[in-house]
Homo-oligomer: A and B are copies of this chain.
Amino acid sequence: MVIVGGGFGGLNAARSLRRADVDITLVDKRNFHLFQPLLYQVATGGLSPANIASPIRGILRRQKNISVVLGDVVAVNPVTNTIEIHSNEPGENEPQTEFRPFDWLIVAAGATHSYFGHDDWERLAPGLKTIEDATRIRGRVFAAFEAAEQEQDLERRKELMTFVIVGGGPTGVELAGAIAELARQTLKHDFRNINPPDARIVIVDGQERMLASFTPHLSQRAEASLTRLGIELRTNTKVTAIHENCVELLTGDESARIMTRTVLWAAGVAAVPLGRTLADATGVDVDRGGRVPVQSDLSIKGFPGIFVIGDLARCLTPSGSPMPGVAPVAIQQGKYVGRLISRLLAGKPPIGAFLFRDEGSLATIGRSAAVADLGRLKFSGLFAWLLWLLIHIMSIAQFQNRMLVLFQWAWSYVTFNRSARLITESYEASEPGKKTNPKQSNEPPT
């Protein structure tokens, strides 16, 4: 059998099949599993990429019924039961194509950001889904402070010290909180011409409150914490245009513009293109977010051996609303499908429909502040933050014994140190028309 994707869904499916008598191939385009909920920490210099990325081979090393393949799954043929994998080989110019048969298939290829049809915004307002996105945003944020330090023109300096985050969900709120801390604490004494705490940080969201997926009361608490950090909140506001030095907004009928050189995208998510390919091949229709509709056992209608899980799946709750694209859903779906297939392989009867057990939501707003919505229990403040910390440490640690890394992380989080403040090449590479550094110019244009 084949699992596509080594994220929360794919990895949990793989692990729950560890005792099944089956040869599993796990295909991912990256060689590591990424702990996405902490990606914003990399984007703001608090953690290094390797702290939240574990090699998939390392995680699955002891599971002898799995082999890992590094490659990009570009197509699924549900008639011949094969997938098409493209992979690169050092020293070869063309990607190698391989067709691999499957009896069971679990597709857990995840999501990417969506610019709602404005793909040209991607260059101006990077999103936060991959390690490279995170190091790129990190480079942009720190480069903006560097440029402000050298800028003589006061207006332009203000533009450089203005950061606009589009999207007031957990990612946007956590990112804004981390940038605020960076400006107000970490960088406080680092500059001579500018005063980093003066940085202006704005969150723009189309809905009427931040963290709209939480209860109104918790949103209120979150908004209060954000305001305390000096973050401006623009609710009911849409982005209508993004330019090199400003972003145009629309609140109701009123348009406005914020002069800024750094716009970060934490708004839309869309399933990866493989979703549409798979839907076309199996005769189903993707939803607006590009997700593949699945049945209550997470298989595609008419294809009992093909399952879709995680951000790529459109799975309905008993009340008929689609499940959110969050890690707990993917984890539980992965475990469910793994268990289901194990039973079927062992000749046992299938289990009932997949039911998402919502253990609640958490979001941090900077240091020592968070909101928690655990069903009946809703609270905010230091205790919510400690819970958030505990859960995240536990979740990472389940894959590898990296307590030491986590001590470092907890330590640098509790103090104000952010040691990973590097501006690296991937930042420059994404800036068109920029002077390339001498090393790059030695290389032939690629």
Contact = CB atoms under 8 A, between A and B. Distances in A.
Interface of A: 29-32, 45, 48-51, 53-55, 57-58, 61-62, 67-72, 86-96, 98, 112, 119, 122-123, 130-132, 135, 140, 142-144, 146-147, 149-151, 156, 159-160, 187, 189-193, 244-245, 261-262, 272-273, 400, 402, 404-405, 407-408, 411-412, 419-426, 428-435, 437-439, 442-444, 446
Contacts of A273: 438
Nearest to A29: B437
Contacts of A151: 89
A76 B74 CA distance: 53
Given A430-B443, A434-B93, A192 B88 contact: no
A90 B442 contact: no
Contact of A131 (B58, B95, B422): B422
A412 to B, nearest CB: 8
13 contacts: A31-B143, A49-B420, A55-B190, A55-B419, A89-B156, A92-B244, A123-B443, A123-B444, A131-B424, A132-B439, A135-B424, A404-B407, A432-B444
A143 B422 CA distance: 24
Count of identical protomers in the assembly: 2
A127 to B, nearest CB: 9
Contacts of A245: 91
Nearest to A419: B50
Contacts of A93: 432-434
A261 B150 contact: no
B50 A425 contact: no
B50 A420 contact: yes
A421 B31 contact: yes
A433 B408 contact: no
Contacts of A421: 31-32, 50, 55, 58
Given A91-B244, A245-B91, A422 B53 contact: yes
B443 A150 contact: no
Contacts of A142: 31
B150 A87 contact: yes
B433 A419 contact: no
Contacts of A62: 189
Given A122-B443, A273-B438, A422 B31 contact: yes
A90 B262 contact: yes
Given A91-B244, A405-B419, A132 B70 contact: no
CB-based closest 5 A-B pairs: A50-B420, A48-B48, A93-B433, A57-B190, A91-B261
Q: Which of A88, A123, A444 has the most CB of B within 10 A?
A: A88
A41 to B, nearest CB: 12
A444 B432 CA distance: 8
A132 B262 CA distance: 23
A87 B431 contact: no
A360 B412 CA distance: 35
Contacts of A405: 408, 419
